Amino acid sequence: MNSPTTSGIVAGRLNEQQLADNFSDLHAPLDPHEASVAADRCYFCHDAPCVTACPTDIDIPLFIRQIATGQPEGAAKTILSQNILGGMCARVCPTETLCEQACVREEAEGKPVIIGQLQRFATDTLMAQGIHPFAREGNTGKRVAVVGAGPSGLACAHRLAMRGHDVVIYEASTKAGGLNEFGIAAYKSTDDFAAKEVDWLLKIGGITIETGKALGQGLNLSDLTSEFDAVFLSIGLGGVNDLAASGADKIGVTDAVDFISLLRQTDDLKTLPIGRNVVVIGGGMTAVDAAVQSKLLGAENVTIAYRRGRDRMAASEFEQDLATSKGVRILYNLQPVAFHGNGSVVEVEFEYTADTPTGLQGTGETMRIPADQVFKAIGQTLETSEQLKIERGKIAVTGAGRTSVGGVWAGGDCALGGEDLTVTAVAEGRDAAEDIHQTLMGKA
């Protein structure tokens, strides 16, 4: 039996019960009593700021009032009509920087209405009954290809199917869901929720998913545009940024997203190896998720090293607090300069940095942190060879996701604009679908 102090990258540092506890729901679902107490706190604001703050514009006061009056299913319909992945968003949205930050009760008492958890209560109630509350409009005879079955592609496909179009989704991976399935922290989407949500979404009908089919590998854009009436690209960011530090090829240095993806697809977490001294390089949600989950797997020491100051960190304050509460150490103003070790990494050497008027600069002073496993979480990049206009590393779009190529729309992480969040991906997929619909029906 291994323990957190066993050296090297080993499996089984914690027992089954510890792992089950560690990877259970971050927020336990509300029971009906908790939901009604929480719902009673909503003021039913006029032109509510929470709605403005929601990228999918869910009518939050309305759905909360529906919960308060004993109609959780109606509440779910209010949510899902704007955001078909409202169930996942309820779990993964950084509400502390979105709706809940805007809630007037945050201003009044520093305690917002717990909108995210209420949203989960409503959507879980409906989905537990196996109800899919939307039906397709009359068939239009139009066919649309969606490339990538992440949240953006799924939201687009659902809205298109609802408007009466037939949709084929081409997905490179063996499973649909995108980062919902492979990226989101395990404790945010427990009990195989991502896959269940996809199955539930597909109940609308009219959507076919072809897995193992990748654009650029057998599929190309011009074939798609000639075969289909429109194409929506939602391929996310498949590549990862490289580190400039030397020795990045040492054993034990990997991409955080690969680690998380492996973790999400491992049925028995006792079999998943993790280092004793884990160092995560980066400052976003991916860094936090990799660090927290390393700790939850039983790593003894987990450090996040971020090259700028705390205020610049992309991970929200809530996420940072979550990490530190789980025992993760966060160090600021450190950039990696070298990975040391003979074959396998044993230490990371960092240089201190300072924000100067001319940008981030190394101070020359260095320090070392022991590490048998290093996760790079310094951002993902777009991978495509298609002849699309690219701007700042993403597919350039105008309006509701129109790309430089006629008949081709794009949304989600791969497209320019908006934050790289699940909810933004959903909003862009939905809006592109409406624009495609208008275009195909000759209304736009």
Partner 1 sequence: MADLTTNFLGITSPNPFWLASAPPTDKEYNVRRAFEAGWGGVVWKTLGSEGPPIVNVNGPRYGAIYGADRRLLGLNNIELITDRPLETNLEEMARVKADYPDRALIASIMVPCEEEAWKAILPRVEETNADGIELNFGCPHGMSERGMGAAVGQVPEYIEMVTRWCKKYYDRPVIVKLTPNITDVRYPARAAKNGGADAVSLINTISSITSVNLDNFSPEPSIDGKGSHGGYCGPAVKPIAMNMVAEIARDPETHGLPISGIGGVTTWRDAAEFMSLGAGNVQVCTAAMTYGFKIVQEMITGLSEWMDKKGYTSTSDFIGQAVPNVTDWQYLNLNYIAKAKIDQDACIKCGRCYIACEDTSHQAIWMKEGRVFEVNDAECVACNLCVDVCPIEGCITMERMPAGATDPRTGQTVQDEYANWTMHPNNPSSQAAE
The binding site for ligand SF4 (CB under 6 A) comprises 42-45, 48-50, 60-61, 64, 103-105, 113, 115
Q: Which of 129, 126, 158 is nearest to 144 (CA)?
A: 158
Identify which of residues 369 and 426 has a Cβ nearer to ligand FAD in the complex.
426
Please report, as residue ranges, which positions from 423 to 442 form the binding site for ligand FAD (by CB under 6 A): 423, 425
Please report, as residue ranges, which positions from 28 to 47 form the binding site for partner 1 (by CB under 8 A): 36-37, 40-41, 43-47
Is 420 near ligand FAD (CB under 6 A)? yes
Q: How far apart are CA 443 and CA 266, in angstroms?
A: 47
Please report, as residue ranges, which positions from 334 to 393 form the binding site for ligand FAD (by CB under 6 A): none
Binding test (CB under 6 A) with ligand FAD, winner from 152, 294, 335, 439? 152
Q: How far apart are CA 371 and CA 303, in angstroms?
A: 9
Q: How far apart are CA 248 and CA 117, in angstroms?
A: 41
Smallest distance, ligand FAD to C-beta of residue 284, A:
8
Smallest distance, ligand SF4 to C-beta of residue 93, A:
14
User: Residue 179: which of ligand FAD, partner 1, ligand SF4, none does it interact with, CB under 5 to 8 A by kind?
Assistant: ligand FAD
What strand order describes the sheet that includes 334-340? 334-340, 347-356, 359-370
Please report, as residue ranges, which positions from 14 to 73 form the binding site for ligand FAD (by CB under 6 A): none
Identify which of residues 37 and 444 has a Cβ nearer to partner 1 in the complex.
37
Identify which of residues 62 and 331 has a Cβ nearer to ligand SF4 in the complex.
62
23 within 8 A of 269, measured Cβ to Cβ: yes
Q: Which of 214, 184, 136 is nearest to 385 (CA)?
A: 214
- The 8 Å CB, 24+ separation contacts for 193-202 are 193/87, 193/88, 193/91, 194/88, 196/127, 197/85, 197/87, 197/88, 197/127, 198/149, 198/154, 200/87, 200/127, 200/130, 200/132, 201/84, 201/85, 201/132, 201/154, 201/158
Burial class (CB in 10 A: 0-12, 13-18, 19+), 73: middle
Kindly determine how many residues on this chain lie close enough to bind ligand FAD according to the rule CB under 6 A: 38
Identify which of residues 72 and 150 has a Cβ nearer to partner 1 in the complex.
72
The site map against partner 1 for 90-109 (x = CB under 8 A) is --------------xx-xx-
* Residues present in the chain in total: 444
Smallest distance, partner 1 to C-beta of residue 39, A:
9
What one-letter code names the amino acid at 442?
G
Binding test (CB under 6 A) with ligand FAD, winner from 194, 221, 235, 432? 235
Smallest distance, partner 1 to C-beta of residue 46, A:
3
Is 49 near partner 1 (CB under 8 A)? yes
Smallest distance, ligand FAD to C-beta of residue 316, A:
10
Is 291 near ligand FAD (CB under 6 A)? no
CA distances from 243 to 215, 337, 339 (A): 27, 9, 11
Q: How far apart are CA 177 and CA 56, in angstroms?
A: 19
Q: How far apart are CA 397 and CA 59, in angstroms?
A: 27
132 within 8 A of 200, measured Cβ to Cβ: yes
Identify which of residues 121 and 187 has a Cβ nearer to partner 1 in the complex.
121
User: Residue 178: which of partner 1, ligand FAD, ligand SF4, none does it interact with, CB under 5 to 8 A by kind?
Assistant: ligand FAD
User: Residue 247: which of partner 1, ligand FAD, ligand SF4, none does it interact with, CB under 5 to 8 A by kind?
Assistant: none
User: Residue 235: which of ligand FAD, ligand SF4, partner 1, none does it interact with, CB under 5 to 8 A by kind?
Assistant: ligand FAD
Query: Which residues, other chains included, contact 132 with Cβ-Cβ below 8 Å and sequence gap of 6+?
Result: 200, 201, 203, 204
Smallest distance, partner 1 to C-beta of residue 115, A:
15
Identify which of residues 294 and 422 has a Cβ nearer to ligand FAD in the complex.
422
User: Residue 425: which of partner 1, ligand FAD, ligand SF4, none does it interact with, CB under 5 to 8 A by kind?
Assistant: ligand FAD
CA torsion through residues 160, 161, 164, 166, sign: positive
Q: How far apart are CA 367 and CA 389, in angstroms?
A: 42
Q: How far apart are CA 56 and CA 60, in angstroms?
A: 11
Identify which of residues 55 and 112 has a Cβ nearer to ligand FAD in the complex.
55
List residues binding ligand FAD (CB under 6 A).
92-93, 147-153, 170-173, 178-179, 183-184, 188, 214-216, 234-236, 238, 257, 260, 285-286, 289, 412-414, 420-423, 425
List residues binding partner 1 (CB under 8 A).
36-37, 40-41, 43-49, 104-105, 107-108
